[in-house]
Amino acid sequence: MTQVALKCKVCSCSFSTPLKRFNYLSKMGHKNFYCSKQCFVADKVATIIEKECLYCHKKFISSTRSDSKKCCSEYCAHKYAQTFTNNQNVSLAAKEAWKQREFVPKQKKCPICGTTFERKYTKCCSSDCAKMKMSEGGRKSSEVQKYHRSSKNECLFADLCETRYTKVLRNARMFNGWDADVILPEYKIAVLWNGNWHRKKITKVHSVQQVINRDKIKVDEIRKMGYNVYVIEDNGKFNPSFVNDEFAKFMLFISDRLYSTTEV
């Protein structure tokens, strides 16, 4: 194998390397060659030197690297950079640019009342509309969640109601946007079937307190419409016996109401 005689840049000793490697390094732009890894590292390591801070002229330790520090601290570096800037001219230019800037408020339309208003961040024209917007979002969220969480026990209870009574509504949003699980308009009764979702934390993003607050608002809206609220607490899995017992209690509740109304 053909060898090429070279001279180490660091220790100046003679050594040889294969012609193929020499041609490759030369093609890559290398002009300096080293006899060992130690010489290569020694040439690349920057020399430690003492420098004078460009701002406060204090002596500090640095190196010969081109990107090494020129000032003794960040404070001095910042102050030294400011010496190249005329702060007064910059301030005057900024103020003049702000005066010439035309500020046009963005026109928005309130999603609740339709009023056009000028606001930068809010979506509604007033706090009352904002509360209505939040309430609407809560009702929609509750409806979507209810669709995915309806249990088999609840569905069986609704089926039993439909076999017994003439008109039965399921999850109808007839209480100012809020719904009930089972509604009997003839008897003015709204049934709320509360599973573990209303008492226990099921998922990471599930807030029990938020569910409780929504239930309170829902109950108030139902009662405003002149309906009686009948709540069934369901703590377990699918259990037809439990559903039949609850349905028997529910029929007795309706019978007692009818009897008390007749007596009056």
Residues 110 and 170 grouped into a single domain? no
Query: What percent of the chain clears pLDDT 70, i.e. is strictly above it?
Result: 83
Residues 155 and 215 grouped into a single domain? yes
Give the tens place of pLDDT for each residue, 182-236: 999 999 999 999 887 777 777 777 778 888 888 898 999 999 999 999 999 888 7
Give yes or no for residue 149 having a pLDDT over 60.
Answer: no
Residues 136 and 158 grouped into a single domain? no
**Is residue 116 domain-resident?**
yes
**Tokens 């702060």, residue located:** 87
Residue 161 pLDDT: 93
Q: For 47-74, what is the mean pLDDT?
A: 87
Residues 204 and 237 grouped into a single domain? yes
Residues 22 and 115 grouped into a single domain? no
152 has which bridge partners?
A: none
Tell me the CATH number at 160.
3.40.960.10
Domain boundary among 96, 129, 148: 148
Residues 169 and 237 grouped into a single domain? yes
Domain, as residue range, for 136: 104-148
Give the tens place of pLDDT for each residue, 135-147: 666 555 555 555 4
Please give the Cα distance from 61 to 229 (Å, whole number): 81
CB atoms within 10 A of CB 179: 21
Phi-psi region of 12 (alpha: psi -120 to 50; beta: other; left: phi over 0): left
Residues 41 and 62 grouped into a single domain? no
Residues 227 and 168 grouped into a single domain? yes
**Is residue 90 domain-resident?**
no
Residues 161 and 251 grouped into a single domain? yes
Residues 138 and 155 grouped into a single domain? no
Please give the Cα distance from 93 to 177 (Å, whole number): 56
- The total number of structural domains in the chain stands at 4
Residues 30 and 2 grouped into a single domain? yes
